[in-house]
Amino acid sequence: MVAAPPRSVPVSPVSAEEVAGVRRPVHEAHLLPPRVFHDPDVLAFEQAAWFGREWVCVGREEDAAGSGAFFLVTVAGQPLIVVRGNDGAPRAFHNVCRHRGATLVEEPCGHLVRFQCPYHAWIYDLEGRLRPPRYTDGLTGFDPAEWGLVPARVATWQGFVFVSLDDNAPPLMDALGDLTDTLERYDLTVLRRARQIDYDVKANWKAIVENYSECYHCPGVHPELNQMTPYNLGAWLPSTGAWNGSYMEVVGDYETLSLDGATHGRPDLPGTEPEDHKRVYYFVVWPNLLLSLHPDYLMTHRVWPVEPGRTRVVCEWFFPPAAIAAPGFDPSDAVGFWDLTNRQDWHVCELQQAGSAARAYGAGRYSTIESGVHAFDLLVADRYAGDGVVSTFERVAKKPGSAKAETASANGNGRRAGMARAVGER
């Protein structure tokens, strides 16, 4: 097999000077410059340099569960096939025939025993090897072994499938950092998808991740959510690596986030501990995976930039197999709750997208309850700057005296200043 041809490192269109205001302590910092939400050159850079080189979550192992099971996904504009081989290993290939470049597989998902090009019928096995094609015997310098499908890197974690288009990217586990330790007690691998809703949001992908990273907006935008998990009750989790996490407290008699706040007898997520029964955990996993662990289900958002002002968001709900198998299983209370909440979020994200294009808008300021936004923006700003500086972030407590601010690495190379948690914000 051959590797994809090497590409030059994309040049950032956003200078270190332009994001210097972001890379300040949060109480001094400014938000990202407005143009990074609107400029096509910025999105082209993000696609090429981040989505096209770093590890990106593309789905779940259950989407390619048995040998020959496959699904298609496009990462940074590159069409890929993710397929389970006869040896049980998941693989990814560029969905391009090596002969004249036809798209090899058209169906979005399914099951195949081999890949046969619809054009001139070249055949590749599930491991990407080309079967010697007709009328190629007499060719000079043509070895079918050198004309297999072009692979991309695949790695899995907790049932998630990640792809990197960069042969030189550090291993997935390095990118995830200590998130793997934080979630080690869970067995998310066994969970199965019960529902998926795709949203077409008219906002930049970073605006959507920023929105997920704070609950400052919750009292006004999400009255239903705010009643069950008040916006200022929660804590940060220690983190190193390109992720950050927090939890919010489920108050009163509410058991989970659902239309009526009840789990309806659904079992806990495997690995939960007693303290988890009244918490909802939120994780931003760079760049595009958002994990929300409820006592009884996992919800994920995968965020796919389409245009500077347009993003496809894939929202999925996963439950333990025992819950799905139980008579009368109906996830619509959890799905309905978050579908409502999602749409509330998309509305304000679209307002931000529209308003921040106006000449009157310059980069705003973070409130002291938005340091989660700052943490994400620092991951963004450091990557724009490309100067090797790894920014640290502070988590400023909302409630005076409730906890000390803490400092952690935004990119994973710094040291945390102890384990103190800033209570009262997300």
Q: What is the contact surface with ligand FES in residues (CB under 6 A)?
A: 97, 99-100, 102, 117, 119-122
Rounded to a whole number of angstroms, the minimum distance from the CB of residue 380 to Fe ion is: 19
Q: Which stretch binds Fe ion (CB under 5 A): 145-153, 179-187, 188-196, 340-348?
A: 340-348
Query: CB under 5 to 8 A by kind: which of ligand FES, Fe ion, none does 354 bind?
Result: none
Considering the rule CB under 5 A, would residue 377 count as an interface residue with Fe ion? Answer: no
Cα separation of 283 and 47, whole Å?
A: 22
Beta-bridged to residue 200, according to DSSP, are 312
Cα separation of 320 and 413, whole Å?
A: 35
Q: Is 36 helix (H, G, I), strand (E, B) or coil?
A: helix
CA distance readout (Å), 235 to 177, 263, 392: 20, 23, 18
Rounded to a whole number of angstroms, the minimum distance from the CB of residue 116 to ligand FES is: 9
Identity of the residue, 78 or 244, whose beta carbon is nearer to Fe ion in the bound complex: 244
Identity of the residue, 117 or 203, whose beta carbon is nearer to ligand FES in the bound complex: 117
Footprint (CB under 5 A) of Fe ion, residues 128-187 = none
Query: CB under 5 to 8 A by kind: which of Fe ion, ligand FES, none does 122 bind?
Result: ligand FES
**Exposed e or buried b for every residue in 302-336, given b needs 16+ CB within 10 A?**
bbbbeebbbbebbbbbbbbeebeeeeeeebebbbe
Rounded to a whole number of angstroms, the minimum distance from the CB of residue 415 to Fe ion is: 31
Identity of the residue, 100 or 347, whose beta carbon is nearer to ligand FES in the bound complex: 100
**Residues whose CB falls within 8 Å of the CB of residue 323, separated by 6 or more in sequence, listed in order:** 266, 267, 296, 297, 329
Considering the rule CB under 5 A, would residue 54 count as an interface residue with Fe ion? Answer: no
Query: CB under 5 to 8 A by kind: which of ligand FES, Fe ion, none does 417 bind?
Result: none
Inter-axis angle of helices 205-212 and 332-355, to 10 degrees?
120
Rounded to a whole number of angstroms, the minimum distance from the CB of residue 219 to ligand FES is: 57
Query: CB under 5 to 8 A by kind: which of Fe ion, ligand FES, none does 102 bind?
Result: ligand FES
Identity of the residue, 96 or 373, whose beta carbon is nearer to ligand FES in the bound complex: 96
Q: Which stretch binds Fe ion (CB under 5 A): 30-38, 50-58, 187-195, 345-353?
A: 345-353
Considering the rule CB under 5 A, would residue 345 count as an interface residue with Fe ion? Answer: yes
Instruction: Find tokens 């996993």 and name the residue.
Output: 285
CA angle 320, 325, 326 (to 5 degrees): 100
Please classify residue 21 by burial: count the beta carbons closer than 10 Å to its beta carbon, then call 0-12 exposed, 13-18 middle and 19+ buried.
middle
Query: CB under 5 to 8 A by kind: which of ligand FES, Fe ion, none does 361 bind?
Result: none
SS3 letters across 57-74: EEEEHHHHCCCCEEEEEE
Rounded to a whole number of angstroms, the minimum distance from the CB of residue 257 to ligand FES is: 48
Considering the rule CB under 5 A, would residue 214 count as an interface residue with Fe ion? Answer: no
Query: CB under 5 to 8 A by kind: which of ligand FES, Fe ion, none does 345 bind?
Result: Fe ion
Q: What is the dihedral of CA 276, 278, 283, 289, to 10 degrees?
A: 100
Identity of the residue, 150 or 215, whose beta carbon is nearer to Fe ion in the bound complex: 215
Beta-bridged to residue 59, according to DSSP, are 161
- Residue 194, token pair as written in the block: 């019960």
Amino acid at the residue 417:
A
Rounded to a whole number of angstroms, the minimum distance from the CB of residue 147 to ligand FES is: 11
Rounded to a whole number of angstroms, the minimum distance from the CB of residue 135 to ligand FES is: 11
Identity of the residue, 345 or 406, whose beta carbon is nearer to Fe ion in the bound complex: 345
Rounded to a whole number of angstroms, the minimum distance from the CB of residue 209 to Fe ion is: 12
Rounded to a whole number of angstroms, the minimum distance from the CB of residue 218 to Fe ion is: 6
> Could you report how far apart the first and last alpha carbons of the chain are, in Å?
46
Considering the rule CB under 5 A, would residue 210 count as an interface residue with Fe ion? Answer: no
Cα separation of 393 and 376, whole Å?
A: 10
Binding site for Fe ion (CB under 5 A): 345
